[in-house]
């Protein structure tokens, strides 16, 4: 079955003014869709096409198939990114809050670290909060690279820092974009679900 563009998990106007309808029309409707179309073209007639997306991404990484890796990883990263967003964003609670406080000292300290990682990342890529070897870690990867292609890492939260993510609403001001998203429209319930999944995966090992 061909890969599909998942619908946004929120109404297209829901994140304004932090992320406008126009940004989402382009970022989801054109950029994210283009990765789906290109990946389907690359997969046409291949056995791999019937596999789950995560499996295709890992197979492409292993085979050194850059075009397939880049397009499929970008599909996954964008779908994950949309799930990380909500309006209005609540604050972390329960186990997630406990883990954030234990690792970073406070939510504010985590947001500052994510902001610095997003702003400091050179050129295109993604800033991530991951569970790495059992510990919450802030990191970033270049271009399409994704924690799901790295052994021992589970993603909890991401921020797209490709220029196409912010140019319509913020022009070249990546710091303003990162600050607006991180402080106003993060879906911490989704992040908490990812932490729970990462912890139960670890407990099962």
Nearer to Mn ion, 31 or 51 (CB): 31
CA 37 from centre of chain:
19
Contacts 24+ apart (CB under 8 A), 12-18: 14/86, 14/87, 15/85, 15/87, 15/185, 17/169, 18/87, 18/169, 18/180, 18/181, 18/184, 18/185
Nearer to Mn ion, 7 or 64 (CB): 7
Closest residue to Mn ion, based on beta-carbon distance? 160
Instruction: Please report how close the Cβ of residue 6 comes to Mn ion at its closest, in angstroms.
Output: 14
Decide: residue 93, CB within 10 A, 0-12 exposed, 13-18 middle, 19+ buried. exposed
Spatial distance between the Cα atoms of 68 and 16, rounded to a whole number of angstroms: 33
Spatial distance between the Cα atoms of 130 and 194, rounded to a whole number of angstroms: 9
Decide: residue 146, CB within 10 A, 0-12 exposed, 13-18 middle, 19+ buried. buried
Nearer to Mn ion, 30 or 90 (CB): 30
Q: Site residues (CB under 5 A) for Mn ion?
A: 160, 162, 165
Instruction: Please report how close the Cβ of residue 77 comes to Mn ion at its closest, in angstroms.
Output: 7
Nearer to Mn ion, 14 or 26 (CB): 26
Nearer to Mn ion, 26 or 51 (CB): 26
Instruction: Please report how close the Cβ of residue 119 comes to Mn ion at its closest, in angstroms.
Output: 16
Instruction: Please report how close the Cβ of residue 22 comes to Mn ion at its closest, in angstroms.
Output: 15
Instruction: Please report how close the Cβ of residue 31 comes to Mn ion at its closest, in angstroms.
Output: 5
């Amino acid at each position: 079955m061909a890969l599909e563009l998942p619908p946004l998990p929120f109404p297209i106007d829901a994140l304004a003014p932090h992320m406008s309808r126009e940004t989402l029309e382009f970022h989801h409707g054109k950029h994210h869709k283009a990765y789906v179309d290109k990946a389907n073209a690359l997969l046409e007639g291949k056995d791999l096409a019937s596999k789950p997306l995560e499996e295709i991404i890992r197979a492409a990484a292993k085979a050194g198939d850059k075009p397939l890796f880049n397009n499929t990883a970008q599909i996954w990263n964008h779908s994950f990114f949309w799930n990380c967003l909500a309006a209005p964003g609540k604050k972390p609670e329960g186990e997630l809050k406990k883990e954030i406080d234990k690792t970073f000292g406070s939510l504010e300290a985590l947001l500052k670290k994510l902001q610095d990682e997003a702003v400091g990342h050179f050129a295109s890529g993604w800033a991530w909060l991951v569970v790495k070897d059992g510990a919450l870690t802030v990191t970033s990867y270049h271009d399409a690279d994704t924690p799901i292609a790295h052994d021992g890492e589970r993603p909890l939260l991401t921020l797209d820092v490709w220029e196409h993510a912010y140019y319509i609403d913020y022009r070249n001001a990546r710091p303003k974009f990162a600050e607006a998203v991180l402080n106003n429209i993060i879906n911490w319930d989704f992040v908490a679900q990812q932490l729970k999944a990462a912890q139960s995966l670890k407990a099962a090992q």
